[in-house]
Every structure is written in structure tokens, then in C-alpha cells.
Amino acid sequence: MTVRRTLFGRPTRSVAFDVAVAGVVVLLGVAGAAPQPGGWLATLVGAGMAVALLFRRTHSSAVTAVVAVLALTQVIARWGPLPFDIAVLIALYSVVKYGERLRDGVLAGLVAAVGVVLAAAQTRGAGPWWAAALWYALVTGAVWLVALNVRTRRLYVLTLEERASTLEREREAESRAAVAEERTRIARELHDVVAHSMAVMIVQADGARFMLDQDPEQARTAVKVVADTGRQALDEMRRLVGVLRDADPGGPDDAPGPTVAADPAHRRLALTELPDLLARFRDAGLRIRHTVTGTPSPLPPGLELTVYRVVQEALTNALKHAGVGASVELTLEHTDDAVLVRVVDDGRGRPVVSPAPSGGHGLLGMRERLAVYDGSLTAGARPAGGWQVRARLPLPSDPATEVIAA
């Protein structure tokens, strides 16, 4: 890291350079104090110009005004051009380069043009006055143009630095937003893991308690389902929490850390794992009939995960509300432009001892997931009994497009 030394709130090198420039102006005034017109009084005028030049970077317009007034005093006293009048050119250069508005530099150039004429009229020499005026004009114009060129380059560099700083801030903001978005998605996945697994475990635990004396074998099966479901949920939670811990949004110099999506260990659930999900719910007591119609097409990972979660949520609700032993019909229909999910239960399962507490985000969570892909959800009771969930997910125009459901 570069440490910049400052003095009076300004870089030390700039202060030292300005002091050196002012010293040169004072030295020119003192060196000509004896032979020059005005003597030591003119030297005091030069010293005043030198003091003003110390502030030429921060108050360039005011410094130019002070130097112009002192130069006018010199003209009124008819001392003619003196060596320390180089301060006029330095002030002109400073106001063009450092002035907040170029208008101040243009105005200073016009005042300098008038000063050129007055200085030429008081120049003592054998040649005509207009020759001296032409020489002064060339020198003054060259200083003005050089200052304008330096100002343009300085503003260009400042613009590039500001643009680079803005791009860096935007890049950091995008990185932080990506991390926050992925963390939100993982938090939702964590909710799904906990809510669905706990619902299954509670239903099975209540069933085991109810059947413990009547049917010990079925009770043992229910306890085994509780253990397997809890073990799988714990593994899933450890994986998700591990991803959250590995994704550090801060770092050296507060730089954004890697996005969690880049973690290769972060495996996304896919429809190929749907049979395992159905097997767990069958072990939990649901009688599930699974039908797939149409020709399945490759789906983006986010869309595939949404289908998986909709099925999981619908089966969980069937287990909680229809009860163990309920018949459920799951249909996945693949069309040319959409994926249709239909989950219907008959509501005729064995009532649980006590209802499993709701996670509070079942249908709402499904609607939010479907809304990401402009999908629709219909859920409600059937006239013949039971519950029905219908979801429609339109396919993207480019199946290879990967959209992550947050």
C-alpha cells in the first residue's frame, strides 16, 4: 500500500514545489532591488506575488486576481516589466490548469492580453513597441495553450480514475448481490429440508406411538423411517451450512468472496432423484402412483429443482393432512412448451394422533418458486374428497439457459 505524505492537507511534494517557485520569484525581486525601477518597493510587490503563488493550486482564481492587481500597481508606477513578472505567467498557467471552470482561465487570458499591451508600451528599447508586444503575446499565448493542454489531460485522467472506481464499486456490489442471492436460495433450501423432513418424522413418530402396542412390527418400521429421514435431513443440513460457511462475503480489503454457486460440492437436486423421494414417502405410509406422460426434455437446473420441490411439498402436505395410508396420484406431463405437475390424494388415510405443525410457507413457497418462471399454481379440496395440487411451468425458449430459483 502506498503512503502519501501530506503537509497542510496537501501532498508534501506539491507544497515543496510551490515553495521553490515562490522562492525563485522572491530571489528575482531581491536580485534586482538596487538597479531596477522602484527599488525595494518593487521588490515588496514581487514578494507579494510570491506569497500569493503558494496557494495557486487550491485558490487559483483568487491568486491570479491578486497577482493581476500587483502587476497593475507596477504598471501605474511606470516601472516597466521586471524579472519577477514571471509570477504573472505562473498565475496564468495555474488558473487555466487548476481552475474549477475554464471561464476563469479565459478571463485571465483576456486580462493578460491587456497587460501585454501595457507592458510593451513601457518597455525601454530601440525597437518599436509592437515588436515587444508581439514577443510578450507569443510567450503568454504559449503558456496559456500549454496550460489548457495539461488541464485537458488532467481532467481526462480524473475521468478515467472515476470511471474505474465506479466500475470497481459496481463489480463489488454485483458480487455481494450474487452472494446474498445465493444465500437466500440456500436458506430456502434449508427450510425445505427441515420442514419436509420434520413433518415426515412427526407423523411417523406419532404413528409409532399409536401402533406400539397394537402392531409392534409397523411401529418399528415407522421408527426406522424417522431415523432414516432424520439422518438424511442432517446430512443435507450439514452440506448446506458448510456451503454457507465457506462462502465468505468479506476478505482482504473488504473484497467480496467467492460465490457459493461456484462450490462444486453444492449438488442441486434433479428429477433423477425423484424415485428416491417417492420411496421415502412410500416408506412413510403413502400409497403413491407415479405417471409420466410426454417426452421429457432437458430442463435448466433451477426449473428442475422447482419441479422437485413442488412435488416434495405436495406429498408432504398429503402425508400431514390426508394421513398415513392415503392414496396419492402423481402425474408429470411434459409438453412442447411446459411441464405440468398434478398431485391428487383421496384424503382417506389414517388420521395422525396429533397434526404436524405447519411450516407456514407451503403453498406460499410453491407460488414463489413458480413465479420465478412465470408458472401458475392451483390448489384446493376436491368435491369427491381429498386435495389436489396443479402446477404449470412454461419452458424457456432456450432449454440450455440456466436460471437459478432464489
For the record, the C-alpha cell of 250 comes out as 468479506
Q: Cα 125 to chain center, whole Å? A: 68
Q: State the CB neighbour count (10 A cutoff) for residue 304.
A: 21
User: pLDDT digit string (tens) for 174-233?
Assistant: 877 876 776 676 677 666 667 667 777 777 787 777 777 777 787 777 788 778 777 777
pLDDT tops 70 at residue 349: yes
**Taking residues 122-134, what's their average pLDDT?**
77
64 or 196: whose pLDDT is higher? Answer: 64
**Taking residues 378-402, what's their average pLDDT?**
79
pLDDT tops 80 at residue 252: no
Question: What's the pLDDT at 12?
Answer: 83
The residue whose grid cell reads 429440508 is 193
Residues 22, 46: Cα–Cα separation, whole Å:
10
pLDDT tops 90 at residue 144: yes
- Cβ atoms of 254 and 168 closer than 8 Å: no
Predicted TM-score (pTM) above 0.85: no
Question: What are the DSSP calls for 253-279, one per residue?
Answer: GG-----GGG-TT-PPP-GGGHHHHHH
Q: For the chain, how big is the Rg over CA atoms in Å?
A: 42
Residues 320, 190: Cα–Cα separation, whole Å:
20
1 three-class SS = coil
pLDDT tops 60 at residue 260: no
For the record, the C-alpha cell of 72 comes out as 497593475
- Cβ atoms of 120 and 71 closer than 8 Å: no
Which among 365, 390, 387 has a CA at the least distance from the CA of 377? Answer: 390
Question: What's the pLDDT at 177?
Answer: 80
Question: What's the pLDDT at 324?
Answer: 83
Residues 320, 351: Cα–Cα separation, whole Å:
9
Query: Any idea which of 106-120, 269-283, 388-402 has the lowest mean pLDDT?
Result: 388-402
Per-chain mean pLDDT for the chain:
79
**Taking residues 8-28, what's their average pLDDT?**
84
User: pLDDT digit string (tens) for 324-334?
Assistant: 888 999 999 99
Kindly report, as residue ranges, where domains of CATH 3.30.565.10 are found in the chain: 269-406
Question: What's the pLDDT at 145?
Answer: 93
Phi, psi of 111 (to 5 degrees): -65, -40
User: pLDDT digit string (tens) for 96-112?
Assistant: 998 888 898 899 999 98
Query: Any idea which of 123-127, 130-134, 144-148, 390-394 has the lowest mean pLDDT?
Result: 123-127
Question: What's the pLDDT at 227?
Answer: 80
pLDDT exceeding 90 applies to what percent of the chain?
A: 22
Residues 182, 280: Cα–Cα separation, whole Å:
28
Burial of 194 (0-12, 13-18, 19+ CB in 10 A): middle
Q: In angstroms, what CA-CA distances link 126 with 118, 123, 131, 238?
A: 17, 10, 10, 97
**Taking residues 57-84, what's their average pLDDT?**
88
pLDDT tops 60 at residue 353: no
Tally helices (H) and strands (E) across the chain.
Answer: 10, 7
Question: What's the pLDDT at 141?
Answer: 92
Residues 315, 229: Cα–Cα separation, whole Å:
14
CATH topology (fold) of 269-406? Heat Shock Protein 90 (3.30.565)
Query: Any idea which of 69-83, 218-232, 390-404 has the lowest mean pLDDT?
Result: 390-404
pLDDT tops 80 at residue 35: no
pLDDT tops 80 at residue 384: yes
For the record, the C-alpha cell of 48 comes out as 507579494
